[in-house]
Every structure is written in C-alpha cells, then in structure tokens.
Amino acid sequence: MPTATDTDLTFDQKYDALCRRDSNYVGIFITAVKTTGIFCLPTCTARKPKPANVEFFESPKDAILHGYRPCKVCKPMQLPQAVPDDVEQLLRELQAEPTLRLKDVDLRQRGLEPATVRRWFKKHHQMTFHAYQRMLRLNRAYRDLNGGHRVASTAFRSGYQSLSGFADGFRATFGASPSASTATSVIHRTRFETPIGPMVACGTDQGICLCEFTDRRMLETEFADLERRLSAVILPADNNLHLTQLQAELKEYFAGTRTEFSVPLDTPSTPFRQRVWEELLTIPYGETRSYADQARRIGQPNAVRAVASANGQNRVAIVFPCHRVIGANGHLTGYAGGLARKKWLLDHEQRFAGT
C-alpha cells in the first residue's frame, strides 16, 4: 500500500508554521535552536530564531539525544495545552460531587484567581467556570428525574435553593419543564489531551457520537447538528462510561498498544455515510486505501467524490480511521484535523504495526 513518506514537510513549511505559531503542528515536529541549545514547541512565544540557527526533530526525545534541553517557556516535555494542576483538581472535585457551588471567594481561598479560571474554561469549554458548574448540576438533575426522582427533591439535591430557580434553569437548557424532561436527552461532552493536540468527545448512553480535535473548523456546527439529530442538549460529562472507555482506548492507541477500538458508537447520519464509515473500520491498522478503493468496496465505484465527502463528515476521528484513506497517487488529502496530523497518525501506526 502507498504510504505518506513522499509528503514529508519541508524545512520551509516547518519554519513557516513556526513563525505563525500554528497549533496544528504541535506534536508533529520539535524546533531546536543551535545558538541557545534549547528545543521548543511550534507555538512557543519566545523570539523566533533565524532559519540558519534552526533544526527540526520529530520528538523531544530526538532533540535531547542531539544535546538540546527543553524550553522553560513552552515546556515541550509536557502534553500540549495540558490542564493546569489547580484546574484539574477543580474538575476532579466537580466530577465527584456535581452539586458543589464554588464561588469566587472559594476559588480565592484555594489560591486561585477567578478571572484566570474563567478564562481557562471559556477557552477550553466555551463557557465560564460558573456556567460549567451549573450545567453539571443540570446534567445530574436530568438523570435523577429520568430515574424516577421527584422534581422538588431533585432541585434541592442539585444545589438549587428554590423550585422556581431550578425550573427556569432547566427550561432554559432543555427547552422543557422538569416534569417533561423525557422530551429530550443529554449528550455528554468532555475534553482531553493527546500527543498531537487536545480533543473533544461527546457520548450518549448508547455510545460515542463525536471525537474531534478542538481546532477543527465548524466544530460548533457539528455540535448543533448532533443536538438536532438526537433531540438532545450537550452538557459537560457526568460519569459517562463510554467517554471513560474512549479516553482509555485512545491512550493505549497513542502508546502503540491498541490497534482496534471496542468502544460503542452512536453516529446518526444518512445510510450512505454509515456504509462509508463502516467500511473505514475494515482498513487494517498501519495500512492505507485510496478513495477509489473505498468506493469499490461499498459497491459504488463511481461514487469516489461522494465517498470522500462522507469521509469528511466523519465525526469520530481516529476510531473511524479516515486518516487511512489517501489519494490514488499516494498523496495525503482531505483530513479535517490537518494533513500534518494525518501524516503523524499514519507514521505512528506504521511504526507499531506488527510489533
């Protein structure tokens, strides 16, 4: 099968990404500066070196073996955009007890600046910290109501001090009163780190319905489409077992110890797209196929463009391995996470295939 070896990034392409601080290349290459002996992420905010003083490596390990030391500004030895320890502690507490109502004064008592926490949640969860807490409480309330709990007891268990406040918040989120909560359902959403950038995943009680890199274009449109197709609202995850399984399996995948995924999927779409996505699952780990191959295998050899479009509509990156589909000439084309990530994934699989 053709591979991605003919599409290696040139020095100029890497240097251009470095100058633009392009986050799509985090995890794709490491920048080392000869005059300082330091290596950095492509997004490092330090002053950019001259091209003559730069060399690139595939990983921090390679840079270290060549005598470079990690930058103290961008910290390339850590996962990209890793969750700060203090925020991680907040997330753990809220997952353990979603009814907590931490106010600004509580954050300050923990040595946290509320404005800093608010900015982090706005950037990574598209809502403030207080909105995140509120949505977690409503997620738990929805589960309690559908489990047979009474509205009044659910309201107070969820940390609300009045039934009217609970009803207003519930109606604003779900579009229905608490007593009519079965009219809609919940899609759980979480964010996590990977070696090639942060990802966001969504899951229902039936399975995973989305797994994307957070910098994918039109991500908000995908969220809206999922809510429409599933008659649901997307809320911060409240102990969704499928999301937990997905993160565990992806961690094994990136470690090179998993070649297939077993997490259940819940991917509503058209029958044609479903056929295309199911065919993706037949491409062996470490191998590639062309779009034409894929079209022939679903019995529609003239539908190459439609197959490519369906691959582009795939919402469950990596699990549905559309990164394994390439052009008939062996070139990489059409990956929503960026061609640099597509090449990284193919190289990663080829490195561990057969081990």
**Measuring CA to CA, which residue among 160, 343, 316 is closest to residue 249?**
316
Q: Are strands 30-33 and 38-40 parallel, antiparallel or unpaired?
A: antiparallel
The continuous run of DSSP H or E covering 214 comes out as none
**Measuring CA to CA, which residue among 74, 188, 185, 52 is closest to residue 125?**
188
Amino acid at 113: E
d(CA 59, CA 76): 9
Handedness of CA 96, 101, 107, 113 (dihedral sign): positive
**Measuring CA to CA, which residue among 247, 251, 307 is closest to residue 283?**
307
Amino acid at 260: E
Half-sphere exposure in the Cβ direction for 49 (13 Å, CA)? 19
Angle at 140 between CA 136 and CA 145, to 5 degrees: 145
Q: How far is CA 58 from CA 9, 71, 233, 251, in A?
A: 11, 16, 40, 20
Query: What would the two tokens of residue 287 be?
Result: 């191998």
d(CA 31, CA 277): 36
* Active site members: 322
d(CA 273, CA 316): 13
**DSSP readout, 39-54?**
EE-TT--SPPPPGGGE
Give me the count of residues in the chain: 355
Amino acid at 344: W
